[in-house]
C-alpha cells in the first residue's frame, strides 16, 4: 500500500480536485490511502474567523465563514453533476459552518480563545475537503471509504501542536484502515487533525498534513509516501525566492530533515522521522504536472558530486546573547541557560559560544519575556528580533574543503550575525537580518547553482 498526501493547492478548486481523482485512480492498484489538506487558504480563513470573533466583531467573523461556504459550494457545483448529491453535501457543509458560527458567538461573548477552540475551528477545513473528495470519487464509480482521522490519530492534549501517540495510532490505524484496503477500497482521510484519547479534536500544527501522511505510512508499513504539492519536488531553493531553482532528483533523509527544519516549507519538519524509522521512501511530486518524476527522499541515495544541494531560509528568528563575566566558563553555566529554555518549552535552534558570550536563536517567542527575566538573574542578556536563518545543506559538505569560503564570498555584502556548522556537518547555518534574506538566498543560489552544475542530480524546472 502507498500513502498519497495532497496539499491545499492540490485541492484548491474543482479542476484541482478532479486532477487529484485522476492521479489517485492511476495508483488504484497500489492500495492508496489518500491524506488530504483543507482547500488552499481554508485553514487561514477559519483561524481568522475565530480571531475576529475574539476581537468582538461577530458579524465579520460570520462573513468570513460565509465566504468559505461559498468557495466550497462553487467547488462542489463544478465538481459533481448530480444535483441532489450536491444539495445534500451543501446541507452538511452549511451545518458544519453554522456550528462554527455558534462557536464564534461563544468566543465573542466569553472574550476568550483557547488553543483547544482554535483546533476545533481549524479542523473543519480538512473535514470538508475530505468529504468532498470522497464523494467526488464515489460518484465517478471509484470504491472509496472516508475514515475520520480522529478515530486513529491519537495525540496528547497539547492543542495546536499535539504530539502523536505512535503506539496507539499504529494499533488503531491498522485495525480500521487495513480491512478497508483489503476489501479493495481507496481510503480517504484528513491530514493535520487528530484527537486526544478522550475524543477532543487536536491538530499537529500548521503544515501538519505532511506529518500525518508520514505517521500513517509508518503505522501501516507503506511501500512509499507520496507528498503531492504545487512544485516539481524538493528544489535547490524556494522558487518564490530564487526563480532559477532546480529540482533535485534524489536527496537523503538527513538532508531533507535539515532543509525542512530550517524553513523549506515543502515538507513539515517532522515528516521525515517516521519515514526514517521504517525506511520508507518519501516522494515529493507536483499535482499540476503529474508526469514529472518528483524528488525521492531515501535513506542512502547514490553518492553525488554535488557539494551543496539546497538552500533554506526561515524568518521570524530571535537571537539572544547571554553574557556573564563572572560565571561564563564556569561549570554549570550552559546547563542553567538551557534549563530556562526547557522550563518554558522553547526550542533552541542554533547555538554558538565564544569566550565571553553564548548566542542562541529561537523562533517561538511566546515565553520570551519570562525567559529573559530568568536569564537576567544570572547573566546579561540582549535580544535581537527580526532575524533570519539561512541554511546551506549537502551531505558532501562534510568532506569538501572550500565551501565555507564560497558561502562567505557569496555573502560578502551581507551582515552575518551568527554562524553555526551543524554537528552533522551536512549543513551550515547563518543568522542574518530578516530583510537581507532574499538577497542572501539569491546570491548563494547563484554561487552554487548558476550556471547549472553538470551533474545528473539536478533537473531544470519548466516554467
In 3D, which of 395, 338, 335, 324 has the Cα closest to residue 371? 338
Q: Shortest CA distance to 75 belongs to which of 147, 141, 20?
A: 20
Find the helix or strand (DSSP H, E) in which 383 lies: strand 380-393
Per-residue binder mask for ligand ASP (CB under 6 A), 164-193, x = binder: ---------------------------xx-
CB of 8 to Mg ion, least distance (A): 7
**Out of 208, 233, 263, 274, the residue judged to bind ligand ASP by CB under 6 A:** 208
CB of 130 to ligand ADP, least distance (A): 15
Closest CB 395 distance from ligand ADP, rounded Å: 16
Which residues sit opposite 380 in a β-bridge? 323
Residue ranges in 152-181 that form contacts with Mg ion under rule CB under 5 A: none
CB of 395 to Mg ion, least distance (A): 24
Check residue 194 for interaction with ligand ASP (CB under 6 A). Answer: no
248 binds ligand ASP (CB under 6 A): no
For ligand ASP, how many residues bind (rule: CB under 6 A)?
12
Query: CB of residue 389 vs Mg ion: minimum separation in angstroms?
Result: 19
* CA 430-435-439 angle, 5° bins: 70
Tell me the three cell numbers of residue 316.
521570524
In angstroms, rounded to a whole number, what is the distance separating the alpha carbons of residues 172 and 164? Answer: 12
Residue 238 contact, options Mg ion, ligand ASP, ligand ADP, none, Cβ 5-8 Å cut-off depending on partner type: ligand ADP
Q: Which grid cell sits at 160?
A: 495546536
How far is it, in rounded angstroms, from Cα 260 to Cα 262? Answer: 5
Q: Which three cell numbers stand for residue 183?
A: 476489501
Instruction: Quote the CA–CA distance of 222 and 34 in Å, as a whole number.
Output: 12
388 contacts 437 by C-beta, under 8 angstroms:
yes
125 touches ligand ASP by CB under 6 A: yes
| Selection from 180, 255, 247 nearest residue 220 by Cα | 180
Strand duo 310-323 + 282-286: pairing: unpaired
Beta bridge partners of 359: 321, 352
Check binding of 206 to ligand ASP (CB under 6 A): yes
Rounded to a whole number of angstroms, the minimum distance from the CB of residue 51 to ligand ASP is 15
Check residue 307 and report its DSSP letter.
Answer: S
Nearer to Mg ion by C-beta: 232 or 374? 232
Q: Is residue 38 part of the contact set for ligand ASP (CB under 6 A)?
A: yes
Of 207 and 217, which has the nearer Cβ to Mg ion? Answer: 207
Determine, following the binding rule CB under 6 A, whether residue 10 of this chain makes contact with ligand ASP. no
Q: Is 32 helix (H, G, I), strand (E, B) or coil?
A: strand
Query: Least Å distance between CB 234 and ligand ADP?
Result: 5
Q: What's the closest the beta carbon of residue 4 comes to ligand ADP, in angstroms?
A: 12
211: Cβ–Cβ under 8 A, 6 or more apart, which residues? Answer: 164, 191, 204, 205, 268, 270, 271, 274
- Pick the stretch among 20-28, 169-177, 199-207, 328-336 that binds Mg ion (CB under 5 A): 199-207
Nearer to ligand ASP, 19 or 37 (CB): 37
Instruction: State how beta strands 357-362 and 458-459 pair.
Output: unpaired
Q: How near is the Cβ of 410 to ligand ADP at its closest, in Å? A: 17
Using alpha carbons only, give the angle 102, 107, 110 rounded to the nearest 5 degrees.
120
Closer CB to ligand ASP, 9 or 361, in the complex: 9
Q: Does 48 bind ligand ASP (CB under 6 A)?
A: no
Q: Which residue is nearest to Mg ion (CB)?
A: 207
State how far the Cα of 135 lies from the Cα of 121, in Å rounded to an integer.
Answer: 23
Query: Least distance from C-beta 192 to Mg ion, angstroms?
Result: 9
Site residues (CB under 5 A) for Mg ion, limited to 201-220: 207
Q: Does 304 bind ligand ASP (CB under 6 A)?
A: no
Q: Does 37 bind ligand ASP (CB under 6 A)?
A: yes
Of Mg ion, ligand ADP, ligand ASP, none, which one sits near residue 388, judging by CB under 5 to 8 A according to partner kind? none
Does position 209 interact with ligand ASP (CB under 6 A)? The reply is yes
Residue 165: its H or E element: none
**Is the CB of residue 192 less than 8 Å from the CB of residue 127?**
no
**Residue numbers of the site for Mg ion (CB under 5 A)?**
7, 207
**Residue numbers of the site for ligand ASP (CB under 6 A)?**
7-8, 37-38, 43, 125, 191-192, 206-209
Amino acid at each position: 500500500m502507498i500513502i498519497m498526501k495532497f496539499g491545499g493547492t492540490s485541492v484548491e478548486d474543482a479542476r484541482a480536485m478532479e486532477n487529484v481523482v485522476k492521479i489517485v485512480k492511476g495508483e488504484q492498484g497500489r492500495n492508496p490511502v489518500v491524506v488530504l489538506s483543507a482547500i488552499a487558504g481554508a485553514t487561514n480563513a477559519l483561524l481568522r474567523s475565530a480571531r475576529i470573533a475574539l476581537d468582538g466583531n461577530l458579524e465579520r467573523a460570520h462573513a468570513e465563514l460565509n465566504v468559505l461556504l461559498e468557495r466550497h459550494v462553487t467547488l462542489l457545483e463544478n465538481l459533481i453533476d448530480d444535483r441532489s448529491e450536491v444539495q445534500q453535501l451543501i446541507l452538511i457543509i452549511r451545518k458544519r459552518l453554522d456550528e462554527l458560527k455558534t462557536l464564534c458567538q461563544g468566543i465573542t461573548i466569553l472574550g476568550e480563545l483557547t488553543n483547544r477552540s482554535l483546533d476545533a475551528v481549524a479542523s473543519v477545513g480538512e473535514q470538508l475537503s475530505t468529504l468532498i473528495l470522497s464523494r467526488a470519487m464515489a460518484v465517478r464509480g471509484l470504491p472509496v471509504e472516508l475514515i475520520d482521522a480522529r478515530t486513529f490519530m491519537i495525540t496528547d492534549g497539547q492543542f495546536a501542536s499535539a504530539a502523536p501517540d505512535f503506539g496507539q495510532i499504529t494499533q488503531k490505524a491498522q485495525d480500521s484502515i487495513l480491512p478497508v484496503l483489503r476489501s479493495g477500497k481507496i481510503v480517504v482521510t484528513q491530514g493535520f487533525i487528530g484527537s486526544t484519547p478522550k475524543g477532543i479534536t487536536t491538530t499537529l500544527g500548521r503544515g501538519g498534513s505532511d506529518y500525518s501522511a508520514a505517521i500513517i505510512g509508518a503505522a501501516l508499513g507503506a511501500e512509499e509516501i507520496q507528498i503531492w504539492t504545487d512544485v516539481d519536488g524538493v528544489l535547490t531553493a524556494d522558487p518564490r525566492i530564487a526563480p532559477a531553482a532546480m529540482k533535485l532528483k534524489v536527496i537523503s533523509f538527513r538532508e531533507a530533515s535539515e532543509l525542512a527544519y530550517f524553513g523549506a516549507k515543502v515538507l513539515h519538519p517532522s515528516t521525515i522521522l517516521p519515514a526514517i524509522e521504517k525506511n520508507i521512501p518519501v516522494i515529493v511530486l507536483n499535482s499540476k504536472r503529474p508526469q514529472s518524476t518528483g524528488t525521492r527522499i531515501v535513506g542512502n541515495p547514490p553518492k553525488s558530486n554535488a557539494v551543496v544541494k539546497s538552500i533554506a531560509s526561515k524568518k521570524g528568528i530571535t537571537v539572544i546573547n547571554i553574557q556573564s563575566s563572572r560565571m561564563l566558563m564556569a561549570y554549570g553555566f550552559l546547563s542553567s541557560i538551557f534549563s530556562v529554555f526547557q522550563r518554558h518549552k522553547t526550542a533552541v535552534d542554533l547555538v554558538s559560544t565564544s569566550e565571553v558570550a553564548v548566542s542562541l536563536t529561537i523562533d517561538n517567542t511566546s515565553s520570551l519575556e519570562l525567559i529573559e527575566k530568568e536569564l537576567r538573574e544570572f547573566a546579561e542578556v540582549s535580544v535581537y528580533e527580526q532575524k533570519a536563518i539561512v541554511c546551506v545543506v549537502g551531505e558532501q559538505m562534510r568532506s569538501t574543503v572550500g565551501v565555507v569560503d564560497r558561502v562567505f564570498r557569496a555573502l560578502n555584502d551581507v551582515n552575518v550575525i551568527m554562524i553555526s556548522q551543524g554537528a552533522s556537518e551536512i549543513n551550515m547555518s547563518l543568522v542574518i537580518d530578516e530583510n537581507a534574506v532574499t538577497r542572501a538566498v539569491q546570491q548563494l543560489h547563484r554561487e552554487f547553482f548558476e550556471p547549472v552544475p553538470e551533474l545528473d542530480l539536478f533537473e531544470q524546472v519548466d516554467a
